[in-house]
Structure 1
Amino acid sequence: MSTVLSAPSPLSRTSAVEAELNYLAPGNARPVNYAFEPPEGTPWSSGTLDPRRVTIRNARPLAEAGEISLDRNGFQLVSHRSAVSDYSDESLIRLVYRPEAEALLRDITGAEKVVIFDHTLRDSASGSRGNATLREPVRRVHNDQTFVSGPRRVRDHLDAEEAQRRLGHRFAIVNLWRPLSVVEQLPLALCDARSIAAGDLVPTDLLYRDKTGETYSFLANPQHRWYFFPRLRPDEVLLLKIYDSLEDGTARLTAHTAFEDPTSRADAAARRSIELRALLFWPAGSDTH
């Protein structure tokens, strides 16, 4: 079962917080991030961070009023209880959680086909950048794909004939993000897609051992409108728009980052989460680009 709105929580009524987000400072060189431990003497990430203090508003009241949506804002809160309780079991993720997620994404978006192409577990206490099976939260403003790497994902995960056909119609990439316990520290900040300008986007190489991906870093922009959902629960998921082929005013992407919530207790539990990234395809005639 899923609904667009989450039940109100009396512990989640903070109107807004002031916090520091890590943007990328302007520079001439193309930024590079490593997905594995880089060679000795090479930093995990190139480029200089540009920390900015911003207002991050509580999005729960807007979500409850139906004023937040994936295609308008680039993110959406959905109530959804999973049958999985042990996310350390890879077979449960593949046999139970992924099919649940596919059905949920079809239900919420109306897509006719969903292809989940990866998942990531994160833990703020024991995760690390160098651990592909358990990573740490990302504390810089970013988006997981670009207008170049989004279409490339279609070719990576479909056979050539289907990929060519699907690329002629609307497709998108969505990140389905779920906390594994109530989020008490390092929540996600989400930027309203309507407040992002083209000049804010910085293509950034993401180096794997066997390939190079491309993500977006972001330059600071005082027009950015930031939101978060306080104390997210395991029966709630966030949908994040990573890419959309539509160019008709629909949100094509958003920016997000983990951030230090100044209202978190010093002894707050570690943030644990799982995210899935999925390709969504709509039938011919539902759009084009």
Structure 2
Amino acid sequence: MGAEVVAPPSVVKADINYYLEIADGGTDTIYPGTAKDKLRPGNLVPMDITDLRECSEEFTLDTHGFQFVPHKSAESNFTDDATIKRVVYPEAAELLKSVTGATRVHPFSHLVRRQRWETAVEAAKNAEPTEIIPIMTPSLLCHVDQSYDGAQQVLDQNFPAEEAARFRKTRWAITNIWRPIGSPALRDQLGVCDARSCDEGDLRKVFAVLPGSGAGSRVSRGKGFEVFNVAHNEKHKWYYASRMTPDETLMIKCYDSKLDGTARRTPHTAFQTKFDVGPPRQSIEDPE
């Protein structure tokens, strides 16, 4: 018999893994995927997380920095990269156009996560600090995928210089489309922070050095990019969509060039509660 699924309350309490300040042992340079990164200490703070399914408010990308959007994908396995690029990328682009009114969408990568965070941590404990741990898990760290400067770096890494320059003359953004795959998400669910409740002063610049890019290079274009980790602030308002299914998506604003008060970025993280049950959460995220 499988584990009993108990409906969580409308507000759950969970530890959010916030940024550990450098003075307390934190860092401003990370090496994603390495054993050292899997074991990096954080600042665990219990926070209330509200089920947006229980809210009357309509959450939107431009106001809150995230948006819940039902959508059925034509793909069901998500095991072949070529198929994902052929099937999922175009449908994700059309979905984002329909939600935002964007005239052009360019999917540039994806991540499929299928294993438990604890599995990666145990592997990291028995590895050298610089060893890559090839176990894709939910990210239990409060972050934004790119900083403002990091978004510019990602733009330059994905487009020729002249085309990137044209983008900078218009409004452009980076949005992550996240969905469970295979089965509903019953553990390690995805929390999002209302962009309006996160002050600019809560954001910490951290440089992510990509695998194979050398020991600690912080300046070479194409070697990595800058992200935001997020320091705790009691004003943060956290939300999630309980028991999301593969026919539902959560759109997350990572960057927006618009400066008129529109939400520009949304901290997010997986979180764990006593209501978590079942096998490892499986999900795909597709930034564009």
Q: TM-score range by the shorter chain?
A: 0.7 to 0.9
Residue 86 of structure 1: how far off its partner (Å): 1.4
Kept in 1, the 8 Å contact 2:116–2:138? The answer is no
Cα deviation code 1:102-137 (max 9, x no counterpart): 1111111111111111100002349748456x5111
Report deviation, 1:153. 1.9
TM-score by length of 2: 0.84
- What's 1:238 paired with? 250
**Residues 158-217 of structure 1: per-residue CA shift (max 9 Å, x gap):** 222221111011100001101002001000111000000111000011111231221111
- Unmatched 5+ residue regions in structure 2? 1-5, 122-131, 214-222
Equivalent residue number for residue 96 of structure 1: 87
CA distance in 2, matches of 1:50, 1:187: 19
2:230 to 218, 233, 237: 218
Q: Which runs of 4+ in 1 moved over 4 A?
A: 45-48, 126-129
Could you tell me which of 275, 281, 286 is aligned with 1:276? Answer: 286
Are residue 162 (structure 1) and residue 157 (structure 2) matched? no
Identity %: 34
TM-score, normalised to structure 1's length? 0.84
Q: Which moved more, 1:206-215 or 1:103-112?
A: 206-215
Deviations 1:61-87 (A, max 9, x none): 33xx45200111111100100110111
Q: Tell me the CA shift for residue 91 of structure 1.
A: 2.0
Residues 142-170 of structure 1: CA deviation (Å, up to 9, x unaligned): 11000101122222222222211110111
2:200 corresponds, among 166, 177, 198, to 198
Q: Does 1:59 align with 2:60?
A: no
Q: How far apart are residue 269 of structure 1 and its match?
A: 2.1
| CA 87–45 in structure 1, closer or farther in 2 if over 3 Å, else same | closer
2:156 and 2:80 map into 1 onto residues whose CA distance is 29
Instruction: In structure 1, give the amino acid aligned to 2:73.
Output: S
1:37 and 2:47 correspond: no
Q: Equivalent residues in 2 for 1:132-151 (5 A)?
A: 135-151=136-152
The residue identity in structure 1 corresponding to 2:16 is: L
How far apart are the structure 2 equivalents of 1:220 and 1:13? 24
SS in 1 for 2:107: strand
Q: Give the paired residue count.
A: 259
Q: Structure 1 unaligned segments of length 5 or more: list them.
A: 1-10, 279-289
**Distance (Å, rounded) in 2 between the aligned partners of 1:199 and 1:30:** 17
Contact persistence 1:34–1:45 (CA under 8 A): no
Displacement, 1:272? 0.2
Does the Cα contact within 8 Å between 1:25 and 1:47 map onto a contact in 2? no
- Return the structure number with greater helix share: 2
